Structure 1
Amino acid sequence: MSRKPKKSASEYAQAHRRREQKYILSITPPEGVPISFTRAGIGTRIGAQLLDLTITYGGLIALILLFSTVIAIGYETGEALFALLAFLIRIPYYILTELVWNGQTLGKKITKVRVISANGRRLDPHQVVVRNLLKEAEVFTPIMLLFGIMSSSGWVQTIMAVWLMIVLAIPIFSKQSQRLGDMIAGTCVVEVPKIKQSREITDAGKPLADTFVFETNHLDHYGRFELQSLEGILRDASTSRVAHERDVEVARTIAKKIGYTDRFSSADARKFLSSFYNAQRAHLEARQMFGDRREDKTHRARETDHS
């Protein structure tokens, strides 16, 4: 019996990269600078959902117990009250937390995932409302019917069981791991990236020679996610024509976005990006010391919306 030839180290590395690539979601916002995210795994999303259910139903049970101490509640009345309060607690909880915390509920914060807009723009209230209202029709109402709440028909329970299996299977086979609500709302659930700005790229304590000068108003446009994308570009040490053209395009896009009016040649594009990276990183770290965590370029719009 012939043995299969062992894979070389490079073949293992290529296979690992292919597996990782399956979970990468690349989004190009209107500014034209691509941002890569890691799609949240099904297990992580279920974990976040279980945490949120623990929070919401913990509050629900507390309210039911409070009502039962004040007035006598029969089984049918308790069932109707349970269904009503569950709806009234869930909807505001999911919508308000995702609006206030930029696509995160408490469960998503703990598991480090968030909802983003699939078109690269900021997550707007309409998308948040749509995806969470549809969650009621997709998951919560079928679960209540399945367990005999609001209906005791065996046919209804069977249909709901089949429906739930279909709904849970959709994110597994979806290209972007989207459930129905995400597809309709135009949203995706991604991991919150762990940004590690290494000293290989920049040293905040050692200013570079001949760097560009950026004012505070230049640095108020981008956040941690965009900085991570720029870091990926700076890590690419390629000197090819394609890489140079990419650097020039990204540099000019950033300059236009932040209102940087000083001219620079295409030969200085790389230096511009490096200088901007240094300044932007230092700016974000300084803001974070005062409790201002700027996650992405949409923070100004969110501040305006909530003011």
Structure 2
Amino acid sequence: MTFDLQRIREGRSTEGIRRVLTPEGVEVEFALADRGERLIAVLVDLSVQVFASLALFVLILIIWGVLFGTGLNGTEFFSVALGIVSFFFQFFYFLTMEVFWQGKTLGKHLMGLRVIGANGHPLSLSGLVARNFMRQVELFLPLIAGAGLVGPTSTLSSLVSLAWAFGLSAYIFFDADRRRLGDLLGGTIVVKQAAPVLLPDIAAGQQETRARFRFTTDQLETYGRFELQVLEGVLREEHRPDQEEIFARIVARICLKIGNQSEVAPEFHRDFLNDFYAAQRQHLEREALYGKRKDSKADSNGGP
């Protein structure tokens, strides 16, 4: 496959595929999430939030009644209180999920989606805060205002609020990377979670011969399935003019990450990568049998 390196470096996408360069200089493809899939994921998350917010609000009412022996009087106060609870709950719902579940929420997990950095690098907290804060400006604040949850409203103000919400949300239909404004501000994109497809032939080939390089369990804990798939793509590619240079960069990067102090001679770079692939694959499959799934090096475990 021929890549447009300038397009890759700039992080632009073509035909629903985002191609980026990893720090090791390897091109990685990400399938952009469909807009319909993102909508369904948001609706799932909103449903979870509605029920959770109502449950939290009922709990507040019960605690208030127990402490003060009275309920919350006044429809306006009730609406404002419910709006405030909903606002903070939904903001921290998205932020907390995406921070601790590596870019996923319940809705995204159900649809097989996740948020990643637009340049292919790990997510940053500032980027996640920015994209979720922008969601308030794009959608929730105008909808809350238009629904009259923060005070009296008129038909005109409701229409303006709805137009604001739908107008800003429509940006996703015009962006080549299918980003909403929050993604643009936070430097993120939403992609499809790739189904793990590991190389049986490479692993089998290494098992038939004695491994030249050995790795400890602690060293194999460093990387996850995503990084293994990146390595798989590198080992699959044959006859690249810069293959030895790429092998050298990846070997140096892996050695640095896993704390391997031994120097690997250039003629053994492929052997090192093949052995590491086979050992890493075996380790991840063994961990999966015990319910421990590690999708990437950023994951400490398989859940939120």
TM beyond 0.5: yes
Q: Secondary structure at the match of 1:293?
A: coil
Per-residue CA shift, 1:273-299, capped at 9, x if unaligned?
211110111122223334432221223
CA distance, structure 1, for counterparts of residue 270 and residue 165 of structure 2: 51
CA distance, structure 2, for counterparts of residue 271 and residue 173 of structure 1: 46
Aligned residues: 283
Unaligned runs of 5+ in 1: 1-19
Deviation at 1:122, TM superposition (A): 2.9
Report whether the alignment pairs 1:180 with 2:174: no
Per-residue CA shift, 1:143-168, capped at 9, x if unaligned?
22333443523333333233223322
CA distance, structure 2, for counterparts of residue 213 and residue 205 of structure 1: 12
| Contact 1:248–1:270 under 8 Å retained in 2 | no
| Contact 1:31–1:257 under 8 Å retained in 2 | no
Amino acid of the structure 1 residue aligned with 2:171: I
| Contact 2:24–2:250 under 8 Å retained in 1 | no
Deviation at 1:63, TM superposition (A): 4.7
CA distance, structure 1, for counterparts of residue 228 and residue 173 of structure 2: 30
CA RMSD of aligned residues (A): 3.0
Deviation at 1:21, TM superposition (A): 4.8
| Contact 2:24–2:249 under 8 Å retained in 1 | no
Report whether the alignment pairs 1:43 with 2:36: yes
Deviates more, 1:178-187 or 1:44-53: 178-187
Q: Which residue in 1 is equivalent to 2:133?
A: 133
| Contact 2:116–2:122 under 8 Å retained in 1 | yes
CA distance, structure 1, for counterparts of residue 284 and residue 135 of structure 2: 35
For residues 234-273 of structure 1, what are the structure 2 equivalents within 5 Å?
234-236=235-237, 238-273=238-273
Deviation at 1:272, TM superposition (A): 2.1
| Contact 2:206–2:275 under 8 Å retained in 1 | no
Report whether the alignment pairs 1:56 with 2:49: yes
CA distance, structure 2, for counterparts of residue 116 and residue 245 of structure 1: 27
Report whether the alignment pairs 1:216 with 2:217: yes
**How high is the TM-score relative to the length of structure 2?**
0.80
Amino acid of the structure 2 residue aligned with 1:41: D
Q: Which residue in 1 is equivalent to 2:192?
A: 191
Deviation at 1:49, TM superposition (A): 0.7
| Contact 2:26–2:246 under 8 Å retained in 1 | no
CA distance, structure 2, for counterparts of residue 97 and residue 253 of structure 1: 30
**How high is the TM-score relative to the length of structure 1?**
0.79
Report whether the alignment pairs 1:25 with 2:18: yes
Deviation at 1:41, TM superposition (A): 1.4
Q: Secondary structure at the match of 1:201?
A: helix
Query: Against the structure 1 CA distance between its residues 117 and 273, is the aligned structure 2 distance closer, same or farther, given a 3 Å change threshold?
Result: same
Q: Quick one: percent identity of the two aligned structures? A: 31
| Contact 1:130–1:185 under 8 Å retained in 2 | yes
| Contact 1:251–1:272 under 8 Å retained in 2 | yes
| Contact 2:18–2:29 under 8 Å retained in 1 | yes
Deviation at 1:218, TM superposition (A): 2.9
CA distance, structure 1, for counterparts of residue 263 and residue 231 of structure 2: 20
CA distance, structure 1, for counterparts of residue 115 and residue 278 of structure 2: 28
| Contact 2:24–2:246 under 8 Å retained in 1 | no
| Contact 2:32–2:177 under 8 Å retained in 1 | yes
Amino acid of the structure 2 residue aligned with 1:185: G
| Contact 1:117–1:186 under 8 Å retained in 2 | yes
Deviation at 1:256, TM superposition (A): 3.5
Per-residue CA shift, 1:73-97, capped at 9, x if unaligned?
5543332232122113212222222
